[in-house]
Chain A
Amino acid sequence: MGKTLSEKVWQDHVVRSADSEPDLLYIDLHLVHEVTSPQAFDGLRQAGRPVRRPDLTLATEDHNTPTLNIDQPIADPVSRIQVDTLRANAAEFGVRIHSLGDVDQGVVHIIGPQLGLTQPGMTVVCGDSHTSTHGAFGALAFGIGTSEVEHVLATQTLPQARPKTMAVNINGEPPVGVTAKDVVLALITKVGTGGGQGYVVEYRGSTIESLSMEGRMTICNMSIEWGAKAGLIAPDRTTFDYLKGRPHAPQGEDWDAAVEYWTTLKTDPDATFDVEVDLDATELTPFVTWGTNPGQGVSLGGRVPDPEEFIAEADRTAAQKALEYMALQPGQAMRDIAVDTVFLGSCTNGRIEDLRIAAEVLRGRHIADSVRMLVVPGSARVRLQAESEGLDVIFKEAGAEWRAAGCSMCLGMNPDQLAPGERAASTSNRNFEGRQGKGGRTHLVSPPVAAATAVVGKLSAPADL
């Protein structure tokens, strides 16, 4: 019987396999950031162990870094200690680091692909749940805990139990105005936040094939939001074209050998998945969330649901609690919801294409007086690229704040936070209670919806302008 894509990648990385034990998997790329790595490095130090493969390891600073005055010392003492510790550890253990101010600093999941380090058929791990982003290249990529970070640093391997496989088939041409973000938000609302638990998911179908790499990354990024261990997409011409010429992409004969291998990375016709899910993209509309988990979503043209509509008791109580926290009424039109803040950025939607789409909406327009808009490029290079295209000017003329790269308001570990009770339209991936600041309320949206919402002051799509 044939194999699925994820089974092929898995198989190519098994160092050791024994009955009733997890497989020992080789890790091709280990990404490291300041929040989940300090104790791992400390553990190595205590045990007198080196980093086995510094040349397969890359560190950057993103979660704690400020997006203003980046040339000055970090004000928050805890953030500063974490960042300084990462710098010291990187120096001590010989790990390459892209620090604040470096042209390749940025959100860890943006810089891997940007440098051409994320390639098809690789295993990629990071102490961060959104590592699934790298699956867009046909890599098996997943988040790990701090003890596992230490394990990978010391051994470049990880014991892993074989996950189950799932296919998500997304077909059809999405209507105008529907982006990858809308596709994945609609999917999560359909399957629920626990729907992918225990599975490695392969996204496939004509909708996926016609997406850009940026769009594919947006979809894979949110795999974890519905519980999947990883999400991946078979590499194709779009993938190869994106990679060609990037600093760490293979060159010359290596490139040809790589493409030959990459081309084999697809699910065999006779392979079977443990589960399959279908989604018709032709029926999608711009999608936004009303609640406090990414599965509580609805069409932008829809209304806040009545908790009574939910059949399962648990969903009903969850909806009730979410509406209370979000200060929303059942039946309220989504388009009537006014926001205070718009956040454009994160590893979900902080890439150049996202900024271009939003800038296009804002060109020649001004955001509402009641709204502040933060534009935070996912990496310093994305910021430079945007500036070379004049996007920064469009954002600034529209009244938005043009910031430096980092995670920023995606999780509010730096000063970019919502105030209690403040409401945001955000292109990030988590609308959990307090995620963007204590008491803050988050509606997850796509970049064009974020831009249109900033202009109108209420949740809106570009078509409303």
Chain B
Amino acid sequence: MAEDNRKRNRSARGKKKSRKEIDVATELTQPNRIVKMKNVEFDPIIFQPMKTGKAIDNILDQDGGVPRASNYIVIGDPGIGKSTVTLDIISDLAETGHKVLFISGEMNRIDLYKYVQRYPKFGDIDILFMNEHLDENPKLVIETQLKEGYDIVLGDSFVEIQDTVKEALFMTSTATEKWIIDLMISNNMGNNNAKKYTTFLMIQQVTKGGNFVGSNKLKHNTTGMMEMRWTKSGEAYLEMNKNRRGPVNKRLYFKLDNPNDVFYDTGRFLMEENNRQMLNSEADELKAESDDFETMFAETGTNKFIDDVVTNSAEDEMEQHEQNLENQDTVKEPIAE
């Protein structure tokens, strides 16, 4: 019996090994592509950011606007307004003639209806409600929709879309994530009917501690990560903690009190920007002064005043005394037998 079991195990191990060997290719199907960037050409429109006309433009791209052909992850504290701010961004872009899509993995029509009462401009956005296509292959639903070609697509949330596809098609999390990332990259490159270099804003859930829950692969394949947080005094701000196209760690405070529009505190942003420049300049000044100090006293210090200086023999004596006391403490007492 035991011998049979051992045989079975050996056989199973052998099968696994042989399958692995079959799956891993041993030869390249095509030669590696080595690229010289000077020979690469892009449609110039890729490098023309899409302007919302609001202060958020200063946060995302150094040339101002939402960069094309890029992927952003948006994370933040619960209830801070991740959906509202991102919907506001794509609404503003829609108003300036950009083709936008909202893939809603979490909110349904009723939820969005309430939203639109407060922000009527959201009513003009094209929305794909994932929960209305539960009988379809969700992968196909999304691929077909993106094939139309959009300037910007908002996904809320990445995890929810990933789970919908994963559960419907019995895929692993890793495979689903890879599929979404590949789809995003493909659309970034304009592989759609309208040849749009699509930008994706993907809201991502966070842990209870407020940290990003996605994989490193997802993190590495994004252009930037936007964080929305509360200050201790209850003010909401957003900042980029990673950004390949623009600045990082610049806080833009915002409020959701106004109907139909996110209010960005542009004055404060510009003030902090101005302060930042001054702080940098001040740091340079301090560095130069520190160098001046070292030069000044390295040149003149040591010998110039040495004759004036009282030899601090009393302190040396005190140190010697302290040392003696320490030595006394460490003298080993005779061990009682």
A and B associate in one complex: no
> Contact residues of B with A, CB < 8 Å?
none
